Structure 1
């Protein structure tokens, strides 16, 4: 359906319309499905007589001033604008300089325009649906083809930041410092929300409830696990921060599965393995991990090495295997923290998605787990017990 377009957005849409040599535009809302709790989404169609309509996609700020004030994360709209208009331009230069083959370049939607107006920040990108891409069902467990393709794409993304840090260390340092969480706010918020998250996890656990409770009896253990998401490293890796199925779109072309990453609103400097763990534990179920967990860990590092070499960086010197193993050890229990803190929201039913308006509280991120969450969370517990970690 059509929606009212704000003045700043109208100006942006008209500018894009003129740049693309069209006459006018039409905006229709996109129904929410849990893929975005930070933005309102809409389709934009550029129109002109005698020309095929040009399909674009707009992401507009949804967080209220109150939500932003207490938010421990750097404004997600500022982060994504920084990614598209600053960081990505440097990444593209690197791929050009190093003559990276087209099939090995990182895929992301093309940006057509943006607006920085406070509370109305907007990005307009290409409409991937019009190019044959489909949304992923966030409530279904992925198969190995999907996961291995996603892991390869993730490795390309991480390799670009590592290479950027080598080619232009000062610029990388400035970007890394900008994309840093406010730890004090994060600490305050997590102290408030963690009891609700743990209570949900304890009530959802079945067979291993006592093991789970015993594990989290140690003071601040959950806090330490969760904070490891956002802890800065000296590895020169900027992670996606929200690498999950609802932030990926896919299509099959010439028999090959292709994935494109969306939503660069949580990009920050952290342990690269955080992205890997987050993807695995939000996208797969117990049986998949039992069959393919180690295989995916090995595949990621092989793809990272290959991506770094294409960018003319020696992986053995910059990110050797012993460093990777060390980061894996640091994140050994991160899947459990993801299950407790993030999986309820990832799998939330459409009608239970919180709206972050003026009355919203950041505690709303801690939603009650549905039946699918309980099944998947108990699968995580089963895996950890089998691996001797819980």
Structure 2
């Protein structure tokens, strides 16, 4: 049983942290439709005369049918992220004497069960420190968006620094991610027809025929895959950088802090893809009309700052002109991100699909969309007509 495996792992973690005879309370979390592949738990390890140890656990919760459609090692990526990659990033920051304000912050990692089909990750419980997730039914605001892309810029800058300072190690790590690319391509092929049909079903009549033609002749599935496989300056991307995977809090001085979680979809690709993913999963048309240019500019400025803090020259590593060209080339990918992701982002809690029982990727794709989906999807479509990408 998953609960028994989790308890055994927590007992081991308690011992490693000098809890001799602790009480352990494990409670499930209702994610409200924000997480499909895992069962989530909060854990309190307590013992007299010691501070409570507040933990968070993610237990893989996917049936055999769906599991068979995904690469074997997909759920081990997050362990590699915490045990290898993110520790390397911290080493780089320490070597550069970066002040805390310039560092990329992650939750403390306590341990895992890496066994295939039984994977568990245990981290500190950030909610006990006042962190929470953004309401996925609301569009992001400027303050939150600016801080989120600042955090993203630090993350991408560390990938660039890793590649520059430790090229052989970096290559070895990215080679281990090749199956993530295979997964990305495989899932796209399985869901593309269904997801595009879902989008077209709610598209306004004035745009429907042109959008359908665009998806059949220009932004085809093969074009999407080719675009995703051809970045000029690839980095280690988060892969699912949306508000549901970001924890945030307001500090006593009024400042906002954002911590990314869920590195399960870590992949090697264009940094623009993470930026667009955040924008098109987190914002509505009104926000993008007002802030799209400001936010992309802000990301580059923060990336520039983060690279300089790591003693790297942005004009060499990622010149502004190269960033602008990448943004222009990858912008159509934002439409595909919306087509694939908005049904998940906007689904009502009671309609959130399960990946247990007799579920499959096809059934997940056909899950009922939420009431805000038509407005959010048409907002994105309006953007692409307004920008002249679809004519």
Same fold by TM (over 0.5)?
Answer: yes
Gaps of 5+ in 2: none
Deviation at 1:13, TM superposition (A): 0.5
Distance 2:299 2:182 in 1: 33
Q: Is the 8 A contact 1:148 1:296 kept in 2?
A: yes
> Cα deviation per residue 1:277-320 (whole Å; 9 max; x = unaligned)?
01001111101100110111111111111101111111111111
Deviation at 1:76, TM superposition (A): 3.6
The reply to whether residue 19 of structure 1 matches residue 16 of structure 2 is yes
Distance 2:139 2:226 in 1: 25
Aligned equivalent of 1:223: 221
Counterparts of 1:96-175 in structure 2, within 5 Å, are 96-175=94-173
Structure 1, 156-165 or 377-386: larger mean CA deviation: 377-386
Aligned equivalent of 2:63: 64
Gaps of 5+ in 1: none
> How does the TM-score come out when normalised to structure 2?
0.93
Structure 1 ranges of 4+ moved more than 3 A? 4-8, 181-192
The secondary structure found in structure 2 opposite 1:371 is coil
Aligned equivalent of 1:290: 289
> How does the TM-score come out when normalised to structure 1?
0.93
The reply to whether residue 335 of structure 1 matches residue 334 of structure 2 is yes
Distance 1:158 1:127 in 2: 25
Distance 1:93 1:19 in 2: 23
Distance 2:34 2:18 in 1: 32
Deviation at 1:69, TM superposition (A): 2.0
Structure 1 340/308 Cα, relative in aligned 2: closer, same or farther at 3 Å?
same
The secondary structure found in structure 1 opposite 2:217 is coil
Aligned equivalent of 1:363: 362
The secondary structure found in structure 2 opposite 1:389 is coil
Deviation at 1:208, TM superposition (A): 1.7
Structure 1 289/123 Cα, relative in aligned 2: closer, same or farther at 3 Å?
same
Aligned equivalent of 2:349: 350
Aligned equivalent of 2:81: 83
Aligned equivalent of 1:235: 233
Deviation at 1:229, TM superposition (A): 7.3
Q: Is the 8 A contact 2:13 2:110 kept in 1?
A: yes
Structure 1 14/228 Cα, relative in aligned 2: closer, same or farther at 3 Å?
farther
The reply to whether residue 384 of structure 1 matches residue 384 of structure 2 is yes
> Cα deviation per residue 1:189-244 (whole Å; 9 max; x = unaligned)?
4333222111111111114222212212317x331454267526452410000000
Deviation at 1:6, TM superposition (A): 3.9
Structure 1 53/65 Cα, relative in aligned 2: closer, same or farther at 3 Å?
same
Aligned equivalent of 1:8: 5
Deviation at 1:66, TM superposition (A): 3.0
Alignment: residue pair count: 385
> Cα deviation per residue 1:247-275 (whole Å; 9 max; x = unaligned)?
01111111111111110001111010000
Structure 1, 325-334 or 139-148: larger mean CA deviation: 325-334
Deviation at 1:146, TM superposition (A): 0.4
Deviation at 1:357, TM superposition (A): 2.3
